[in-house]
Amino acid sequence: MLLALCGLVMLGLVREETGTEAFLVGLFLAVLPAPAVVLAFRWLGRAHPLPWRTHAFVLAWGACAGTLIALVANSFAAVWLADAWAHPVDPDTLAALAVAPVVEESAKAAALLLVLVFRGRLIRGPVDAVVLTGLTATGFAFTENILYLAKAFGSDREEGTGAAITVATFFVRAIFSPFAHPLFTCMTGLGVGLALLSRRRVGRVLLPVAGLLLAMAMHAAWNGSTVLGPLGFPLVYVTIMIPALGLTVWLVLWHRQRELRTVRETLPRYALAGWLSPYEPLALGSLRSRRVAAEFASYHGARADARRLRLYAAAATRLALLRSDAERGRRVPDFVRRERALLDHLWRERALARPAFAHSWRLAPPRAPHLLPAQPASAAAPGGWYAPPTWWPPTPSHGYGQGPGYGQGLGYGQGAPPPYGRAPAPYGASPAPYPGSPAPYGPAKPPYAPAPTGMPTGTGQPAREGARHDPWAPPRS
């Protein structure tokens, strides 16, 4: 509600400053690049997708509260500098170089700070932090583009230049540099994300500060490019912006692959305990296999099934990262409760997910089959292994049978011909097992696994001296 009020106040201020017609033109042109930037950041975070409400909050913060804070602070600073600054340097130039970067980057970083305070468990590392800060800056740039494009349209009407200034402004801000503001704020996200992975207190304190200062410095260099003359903008764009963008994207993709590798290496423990089928850890650790499984669910079920499958993959990723943090000795509050909640979610959706991931296993096999855990020779895992079902979809099976057959005068077998296989269970429901085969989904529910070695059950905190036995060893027969 407060964000909506800030948005209305901000739009009213822009309309009052530029006029209704110019405001509508600026709003229309500012909308055009925004969806592409939003989709790009959501694509970066698809390995560990955050709730859409969190994305909507940071977008709204950047577009409404962040811009309103920056507008008020920048206006106050400009008036104060005009009255108190007695120097040959233009006060507006000084405000653009020294005041605007500090105010705007701090206002945008406040959204990430709020998420850390109220939903800190959602952010697992640099990828999540970069996605959130990038979306915040996308909302900020959207509102700022409305103001600049509306002013450009008003200048064209006053000077009679047609649409030259508007087209030039749109080209620079929407086509040539749509990732400018997101790139600045992503430096803050990288600092916060790396601090979350750091085990030293100094790193957890200094990395966010360094990221925020780097964001302010890049913002100041971008604003100062207009002071350097006609070649200032291309020079800053080529020497600073493009290398920084490429390095940031590479670093985020590298961390995303690291998260997927954690999924592939951690989830086999739960497959051994009976919570997952043995091929799911590798399928869940591949974005291509996830996409194929979602397409299968959408084709055989509905779009809602594809969404449920994506939530299943997100829960499995959170489970793997949670377990990995605990095994590495990091502080994980409420580990047991959070683990059980995620396992219960996976168990409820198993009938929907397992046929889809079985299909993706066959169609898009992962590239690391050596990570698949072998079944112990001494004792089977609870419920037995659930191999990818070869009967999906069923195929006609004639067979030979026993007794009179072809050419013996009694026709095709005895009596009526055998049915062509059997009808499959509806997609999303547990299929009944074949006679003589184990239940495909194991027991009613596997027992909850104990906490990782060194973490006592029920506390969620690592112990100094943990048990020496293997918590994932199968039960002895």
Over 90: is that where the pLDDT of 143 sits? yes
Count of beta carbons in the 10 Å neighbourhood of residue 407: 6
Asked if residues 91 and 99 have their Cβ atoms less than 8 Å apart, the reply is: no
Q: How confident is the model at residue 207 (pLDDT cuts 50, 70, 90)?
A: very high
Q: How confident is the model at residue 91 (pLDDT cuts 50, 70, 90)?
A: low
Q: What is the pLDDT of residue 416?
A: 42
Which range, 55-64, 73-82, 297-306, 434-443, is most confident? 55-64
Q: How high is the pLDDT of residue 87?
A: 60
> What is the reported pLDDT for 133?
95
Query: Length of the chain, please?
Result: 477
User: For residue 318, is pLDDT > 60?
Assistant: yes
d(CA 161, CA 154): 10
Select, from the ranges 234-248, 294-308, 385-399, the one with the highest average predicted confidence (pLDDT): 234-248
Q: Please report which confidence band the pLDDT of residue 89 belongs to, taking 50, 70 and 90 as the band edges.
A: low
Place of tokens 């350097």: 228
- What average pLDDT does the segment 155-178 reach? 87
Q: In the structure, what pLDDT confidence band is assigned to residue 124 with cuts at 50, 70 and 90? A: confident
Residue 249 has pLDDT above 50, yes or no: yes
End-to-end CA distance of the chain: 60
Give the pLDDT of residue 94.
75
Q: CA 129 → CA 49, 60, 461, distances in Å? A: 12, 16, 25
**Most trustworthy range by pLDDT among 2-11, 42-51, 129-138:** 129-138
Angle at alpha carbon of residue 223, lines to 87 and 252, rounded to 5°? 145
Quick one: average pLDDT of 461-472? Answer: 40
pLDDT tens string 339-368: 999 999 999 998 888 888 888 877 876 665
Mean pLDDT in the chain? 78
Q: Which of 220, 20, 229, 189 is nearest to 108 (CA)?
A: 189
Q: Which two tokens stand for residue 69?
A: 């804070």
Of the chain, the percentage scoring pLDDT greater than 90 comes to: 36
pLDDT for the residue numbered 88: 57
Higher pLDDT, 159 or 404: 159
For residue 191, pLDDT over 70 is answered with yes
Q: Is the pLDDT of residue 320 over 90?
A: yes
pLDDT at 122: 84
Listed residue (143, 87, 104, 65) closest to 223, CA to CA? 104
This prediction's pTM: 0.78
pLDDT at 297: 85
pLDDT at 307 over 60: yes
Residues 6+ away with beta carbon under 8 Å from 253:
44
58-69 mean pLDDT:
92
Q: What is the mean pLDDT of residues 61-66?
A: 92
Rounded CA gap, 218 and 224, in Å?
10
Q: Which of 44-53, 94-103, 468-477 has the lowest mean pLDDT?
A: 468-477
- Angle CA 11–12–17, to nearest 5: 100
